[in-house]
Structure 1
């Protein structure tokens, strides 16, 4: 299990210091939400900010494109430092071409599903990607409440991977905290995006360790 901290909820005036602190705390990935004001009604970060942060850290850069035309910008985000680029199947770009462009640029590729998009929509692309990101809130803003119905989508994607012997990882983004993390881990999630909950903690390392301990407990129960 890996934790990806969403800097959408961080102190944007001190991103270098925040990133350094998270790296010292044992964070696995930095989750970078890109919003263009068209695909979602919010505007956040672009390539220059990503490149600047990438210069300050050795953390794995997990870049989530919530934009209208991810194919147009995929290569640029990889060049700016993205190690993984995930994009929405609901965007205007052709999914196969976008996945191929991300891979050609040298990064891992993932597809993202909004809460209202069925998991079956992802089936044609599951053999091509390294990650499937399940949104457990509506994309566009941080601090939303977890949508519990999405647990079934995570379970379905995990079962499909097992039946068809596919090795994509399931990432979950939205409303992840000490209460919801165990449930999505049990359902089959392997990468947890944590934003508001993590940045509210006085001790982020302790918060992450608590969730990791739960993951170890679930693993031991599964393979006992």
Structure 2
């Protein structure tokens, strides 16, 4: 089953409540990118915005920690009743500890990796996670072009699932839109994270009906 995840980085923040209400019937969850200006060259959202979003919608929330030392932030996130925390393999030397801490609190734990990071680096932690997020752009900014090489990573992750009898989700984030979503799903992804593809899409209802549940 394919899920659509709306990345609020592409939303109109002057009208955040109406933006979320406008799309929430066509998507399955919201994706919040927390960036620290150090791990990635941008500053975005902190805990007050996560709290505000929780007060706006009942949609599940995925918090993507694009920060150095993400384990410093996990405890605070426990206060917000979120459904998933996504952590970068490159951001901490204690990735197993971070994943364990998330799962001990009954929150889904996803591991992610940048476009230039080989999949082999996450092999050791895949048995412990609920999903893998493939970054199909270099993280930091919304609206970038999809990196075609990402399709090979998705296919490899899907092959590993079949080979080893695993059941982790495969999410994709970056440059996913109406023109390439079918290809991404066919490669094995079951969660499509879109910013512009959702919040700037004039035909979101059609995209949603085509992809959700596929």
Q: Distance in 2 between matches of 1:13 and 1:101?
A: 35
1:163 maps to what in 2?
163
2:64 maps to what in 1?
64
1:34 and 1:46 in contact (8 A); partners too: yes
1:70 and 1:93 in contact (8 A); partners too: no
Unaligned runs of 5+ in 2: none
2:138 maps to what in 1?
138
Q: Distance in 1 between matches of 2:77 and 2:93?
A: 16
1:94 maps to what in 2?
94
2:154 maps to what in 1?
154
SS of residue matched to 2:123: helix
Q: Distance in 1 between matches of 2:43 and 2:164?
A: 38
2:204 maps to what in 1?
204
Q: Offset of 1:81 from its aligned partner?
A: 3.3
2:20 maps to what in 1?
19
Q: Which has the higher contact order (CA 8 A, sep 6+)?
A: 2
1:113 maps to what in 2?
113
1:3 maps to what in 2?
4
2:36 maps to what in 1?
36
Matched, 1:122 2:117: no
* TM-score, structure 2 normalization: 0.95
Unaligned runs of 5+ in 1: 217-224
* TM-score, structure 1 normalization: 0.91
Question: Root-mean-square deviation (CA), in Å?
Answer: 1.3
2:181 maps to what in 1?
181
